[in-house]
A and B are shown apart, each in its own frame.
Chain A
Amino acid sequence: MSNAESATNQVTKRDIRSAAIRYMFMACNTFNYENQQAPAVVFGLNKVLRKIHKKDEDYKASLNNHFNYFNTTTWMANLLLGASVAMEQKDGIQSKEAVQAFKTGMMGPLAGVGDTLIWVLYPTIMGSIAGYMGLQGNPTGAIIWLLLNIVFFFFRIKLFDVGHTSGLKLITALGDRLNVFTEAASIMGLTVVGALIPAVVKMNVQLKYQAGEVTLPIQTEILDKIMPALLPAVLTIVVYKLIGSKKIGLTSIIFLIIALALACSYFGILGV
């Protein structure tokens, strides 16, 4: 960022590193079912944004914007947040809409790609190595895993910096090519999300249909015969529509689901 405007903002390398570490620490530690990682984004960026937005009103508007729903793989988020800071540095509070569009456009695709790489592939590989070595009482695998994590830690700080210095340049230079990339990432992301529904959302009906001598377990003999993971699919569609309708708040949806789960458990409709 070498133009005259950013000189007055006085955002230093140190500010960027501190923002990266603040976000990385908080990441999912304020995770909630409502705006998920958004509080961590605000916590991470609030110091550096204070330097950028001198007027209280601008600062509030910017942070309120970052309080909007955000969720992606935390490792990838560094890249997005670094670029977001650069955008706000350049255009001030006018960049609000662009920052929001950029973050929401990229987080979904990146979550699909990043979660599988970082939370499935990496722990599966390291876990099998360290686990088998562990069975022999050998901590070598665990030590290697720990050291790799430390390397990745510094790499992630670097990612934030890369996002800040060249993320935006890259994005503007790529132009429509970026859209091709985003679309491609969306394709992979949606394939993974589609797979996540039956893999992560579980509902097991315990009821049995009884007619004279015949007992028919509803889950295995009826529902699964129609379609496996039928109920999770229906639940996903219902919740998706409910959120889209904006008639009911997220908190209410969450409590409805918990109440439904408790009631179904009490009456023995659903089981673990």
Chain B
Amino acid sequence: MEIIQAILIVALAFWMVLDQQGFVITTWFPSIIGMIAGLIMGDVPTAMVIAGTFQLMALGVANIGGSSVPNYGLATLVGIYVALRTTSDIEHAKAIALAVGVPVGMLGIQLDVLGKILNSYVSHAAQKALNEGKFGKMNRIFWIGPLIFGLTTAVPTLLCVIFGDKIVRLLLDVVPKWFTDGLSIAGSMLPVVGIALLLQYMPVKKYLTMLLIGFVISAYLGLPILGIAILGFAFAYYYFTQKINSTPAAAAAGSGNTSVEGDEFDE
């Protein structure tokens, strides 16, 4: 029974990241993962208390724009497993879960960065196979991507399941602190690549004002992203209602999207 539970927990860890980055059904948010882990371990109420604690910690931490955030789902999963194996007292279980889960969740950031770096090679290999005309091979290469990401969460979970939390602490102790810190720093700098890439495709010069407004409100006033998004929507809505009435519906020529509409009219 314990073996089956352990296998299911590791499988859930593998699936969790794939689902979060793909189907978005079970996700890796602590609440849902905690509930499933509770079902596996046969103690939903205690699992929900631990999950709720992590969920509230994770509020407002969104991995948008390719950023890496502490993996609170992983923290929840490992925390629940170790806690329920050790104790049946809820308060005690919560303390154990936090002590074990938080470092594992932090380790998750570094593995996520690593996964995203390795996937560059997956992309290159697939494109190479395409240009050699090996279409079946290309299709198979793509599967390495989810395999890498699945392992980034399954491996730490497996280690915790086998050795408890000691191994993670040991790992974090053996690897020099400047190195793990460095990876975390890289993790909080690398989203800049995604942002800069996205900006290449947006009318930055034309709407530099908007970029500056968003920056100032976030940097100086520290308003949450959602508030800024609503403000952005307000600007956009004003622009839209002002412009839409002065623009004819069917005039297709001379616009920025000429290539799209041009093809239509060539027919």
Contact = CB atoms under 8 A, between A and B. Distances in A.
Interface stretch (A10-18, A64-72, A158-166, A211-219): A64-72
A91 B260 CA distance: 11
Instruction: Give the interface residue-count category, chain A.
Output: 35 or more
Interface string B39-70: 00000111011011101101110111111000
B185 A272 contact: yes
Contacts of B88: none
Contacts of B24: 74-75, 149, 152-153
Of A36, A94, A139, the most chain B CB neighbours within 10 A belong to A139
Contact of A175 (B22, B23, B251): B251
A50 B226 CA distance: 41
B197 A243 contact: yes
Given A46-B139, A193-B198, A193-B199, A120 B64 contact: yes
Contacts of B194: 33, 36, 71
A261 B64 contact: no
A145 B32 contact: yes
Given A184-B240, A189-B202, A266-B182, A30 B123 contact: yes
A207 interface: no
B250 A71 contact: no
B186 A258 contact: yes
Interface of B: 18, 21-27, 29-32, 34-35, 38, 44-46, 48-49, 51-53, 55-56, 58-60, 62-67, 90, 116-120, 122-123, 126-127, 130-131, 133, 135, 138-139, 142, 145-146, 149, 178-179, 181-186, 188-204, 207, 210-220, 223, 225-226, 228-229, 231-233, 235-237, 239-240, 243-244, 247-252, 255-257, 259-264
Interface of A: 24-36, 38-40, 42-43, 46, 50, 56, 59-60, 63-64, 67, 69, 71, 74-75, 87, 90-91, 94-95, 97-98, 101-102, 104-105, 107-109, 111-113, 115-117, 119-121, 123-124, 126-128, 130-139, 141-143, 145-146, 149-150, 152-153, 171-203, 227-229, 232-233, 235-236, 239-240, 242-244, 250-251, 253-254, 257-258, 260-266, 268, 270-272
13 contacts: A74-B22, A108-B198, A131-B55, A131-B59, A146-B26, A190-B232, A192-B214, A194-B210, A195-B229, A198-B219, A236-B199, A251-B120, A258-B186
